[in-house]
Amino acid sequence: MTRESESGLPIEPVYGPDALDGWNADDKLGEPGAYPFTRGVYPTMYTGRPWTMRQYAGFGTASESNARYKQLIANGTMGLSVAFDLPTQMGHDSDAPIASGEVGKVGVAIDSIDDMRVLFGGIPLDKVSTSMTINAPAALLLLMYQLVGEEQGVPADRLTGTIQNDVLKEYIARGTYIFPPKPSLRLIADIFKYCKAEIPKWNTISISGYHMAEAGASPAQEIAFTLADGIEYVRTAVAAGMDVDDFAPRLSFFFVARTTILEEVAKFRAARRIWARVMKEEFGASSPKSLMLRFHTQTAGVQLTAQQPEVNLVRVAVQGLGAVLGGTQSLHTNSFDEAIALPTDKSARLALRTQQVLAYETDVTATVDPFAGSYVVEKMTDDVEAAALELMGKVEDMGGAVNAIERGFQKNEIERSAYRIALETDSGERVVVGVNRFQLDEEEPYEPLRVDPAIEAQQAARLTKLRAERDQDAVDEALGRLKKAAEGTDNVLYPMKDALAARATVGEVCNALREVWGTYVPTDAF
């Protein structure tokens, strides 16, 4: 009986050489670390060292998150990954009326350089790589990170890490946008230019399919719409006068890893192949690093269940294995209790231990690209690639990612996929252990981590004190220069850095840009 993959593609019971009839191995595969990078972006992959093990963490105040980061580092985390609360992600201060009830809830509250100092206090920024999941206000958090590094005596050219900085997927699947698409793209181009000059080792964008997958995108939709967004960013930077080989090596991507190992491995291989060809054939990139699709992976939070949460430990291990077999550069494994609340210290440690077992107790790191030549994986790679290219062609026919977003194309396609998954789950055709099969009559009690609601008042008090102590004239002058740059063509990051150094708040800086650029209102909001 033929099954269907997550992308709706057929999975045959048996595969053999005939499945790859007319298949040119040299063209499709090549060698690891060589074009078209189907087999991985580095020749040795994990045989030399494992992937970077990151744990996405952040909650409550900067001091609480700082303590969690130090625990993770002590437990063997190789890179930090910062979660910010919704007010910070939306460019609002903790004492803004719109922030009420959300301060510190889904991430750490960062209102100013003062909070950033606390967040990374005692953590040497020249020795850790930090990823920050922040989009519309990405420039602000990057600049505050740079300022904290400078205070530690770490020059900017020694800072390493990534800002997500992918605003287009916010319009498609997530919703934490601030400005309309055109000024948002201009801000991203300014970040590219600034980092090339000031923070050359920093990954300037992590083009994200993860959130599309969380919204219901199939694997083929995930890579199609993510790579289409990537093409839009490259076009924006080139149109701003940058040479593609000056910024493309610092682009990175962010994907999900589901429990369907075979298709996930095929998805990662197909994405690398498509991106290499786009960069070479459309943009004329000549540096091999410009052709490499380097990516971070997070296990699929959307597949975790509140029912029988300990079963999520198994799901996360399977998902993490799929990411590793697919050749990820870094990995975050979700904690088993994340469908209920923020992870506890113990569950976060168990999530990290899952990666360490994969890296040090299995043999998947002993050889490069273990699935190379597998009839099923190579056929599925071709199938996912073809499905993704078809969707990317439709985006191109509409004039590119931004025009397609404005027509609601990606959002509608993802919603259709999500509806299909919901119907299959409700009918029992799609089995979810503990939810629609193998249930318990009564769930065992579980005590989740809870964020203290007093944090909101504490952050408001910190802001009151900050505004009373700082040089308001210096803040106003820097914000004035920021608005002038936003109105013209100067790079906005330089006056933005001055404003943040003068202790302007995240909300004040974003409001200055709102005055010039306005805010985005989705077309379906009318």
CATH number for position 247: 3.20.20.240
CB atoms within 10 A of CB 200: 12
Q: Mean per-residue pLDDT for 472-481?
A: 98
CB 313 within 8 A of CB 334: no
DSSP 288-321: HHHH---EEEEE-GGG--SSSTTHHHHHHHHHHH
Integer Cα distance of 144 and 499 in angstroms: 10
Among 226, 225, 213, which residue's Cα sits nearest to residue 259?
213
Domain membership flag for residue 162: yes
pTM of the predicted model, to two decimals? 0.93
Q: Are 40 and 32 in contact (CB under 8 A)?
A: yes
Strands (E), 197-286: 202-203, 205-208, 251-257
pLDDT band at 524 (very low <50, low <70, confident <90, very high): low
Q: What is the DSSP string of 447-498?
A: --B---TTHHHHHHHHHHHHHHHS-HHHHHHHHHHHHHHHHSSS-THHHHHH
User: Is the confidence at residue 89, as pLDDT, over 60?
Assistant: yes
Q: CA-to-CA distance for 481 and 364, rounded, in angstroms?
A: 53
User: What percentage of the chain exceeds 70 in pLDDT?
Assistant: 99
Q: What would the mean pLDDT of 112-119 be, rounded to a whole number? A: 98
Q: What is the per-residue pLDDT across 144-163, written as a single tens digit (0 to 9) for each?
A: 999 999 999 999 999 999 99
Report for 170-179, 445-454, 515-524: range of highest mean pLDDT: 170-179
For the cut 90, the answer to whether the pLDDT of residue 445 exceeds it is no
* Cα–Cα distance, 229 to 170 (Å, whole number): 11
Instruction: Tell me, yes or no, whether 264 lies in a domain.
Output: yes
CB 276 within 8 A of CB 317: no
Distance CA 522, CA 526 (A): 8
Report the pLDDT averaged over residues 308-335.
Answer: 97
3-state DSSP assignment of residue 411: helix
What's the rounded Cα separation, in Å, for the pair 406 and 525? Answer: 12
For residue 525, pLDDT over 50 is answered with: no
Q: Are 349 and 57 in contact (CB under 8 A)?
A: no
Does the pLDDT of residue 513 top 70, yes or no? yes
Q: Please, what is the average pLDDT of the chain?
A: 95
What is the average pLDDT across 325-329? 98
Residue 373 lies in a domain: yes
Q: How far apart are CA 66 and CA 71, in angstroms?
A: 9
Judge whether 368 lies within some domain.
Answer: yes
Please report whether residue 510 resides in a domain: no
87 part of a folded domain: yes
Q: Domain range spanning residue 389?
A: 3-427
Predicted confidence (pLDDT) at residue 198 exceeds the cutoff of 70? yes
Is residue 451 very low, low, confident or very high in pLDDT (cuts 50, 70, 90)?
A: confident
Q: What local confidence, expressed as pLDDT, does residue 134 receive? A: 96
- 214-273: per-residue pLDDT in tens? 999 999 999 999 999 999 999 999 999 999 999 999 999 999 999 999 999 999 999 999
Are the CB atoms for 379 and 484 separated by under 8 Å?
no
Phi-psi region of 506 (alpha: psi -120 to 50; beta: other; left: phi over 0): alpha
The reply to whether 475 falls in a domain is no
CA distance 143 to 204: 12
The reply to whether omega before 36 is within 30° of 0 (cis) is: yes
Position 389, amino acid:
L
Q: Report which of 68, 232, 58, 59 is spatially closest to residue 132, judged by C-alpha positions.
A: 58
3-state helix, strand, coil in the chain (%, to 5): 50, 10, 40
* pLDDT at residue 27 greater than cutoff 80: no
pLDDT band at 58 (very low <50, low <70, confident <90, very high): confident
> What is the structure's pLDDT at 526?
35
Cα–Cα nearest to 28, from 385, 292, 289: 385
Counted domains in the chain: 1
Whether the CB-CB separation of 324 and 46 falls below 8 Å is answered with yes
Above 80 in pLDDT, residue 491? Answer: yes
Both structure tokens of 286: 């000549």
The percent of residues in the chain predicted with pLDDT above 90, rounded, is: 88
Residue 1 pLDDT:
59
Cα–Cα dist 504/470, whole Å? 9
In a 10 Å sphere around its CB, with 0-12 CB exposed, 13-18 middle and 19+ buried, how is residue 524 labelled? exposed
Sign, Cα dihedral of 98, 102, 107, 113: positive
Q: What is the mean pLDDT of residues 386-398?
A: 98
Q: Quick one: which of 206, 133, 136, 209 has its CA closest to 172?
A: 209
Q: What confidence score (pLDDT) does residue 221 get?
A: 98
pLDDT of 255? 98
In a domain, 524, yes or no: no
Work out the average pLDDT over 99-119.
96
> What residues form DSSP beta bridges with 208?
254
In angstroms, what is the C-alpha Rg of the chain? 23
Q: Which of 125-134, 285-294, 340-349 has the lowest mean pLDDT?
A: 340-349
Q: For strand 3-4 and strand 10-11, is the pairing parallel, antiparallel, or unpaired? A: antiparallel
Give the Cα separation of 98 and 404 in Å (integer): 30
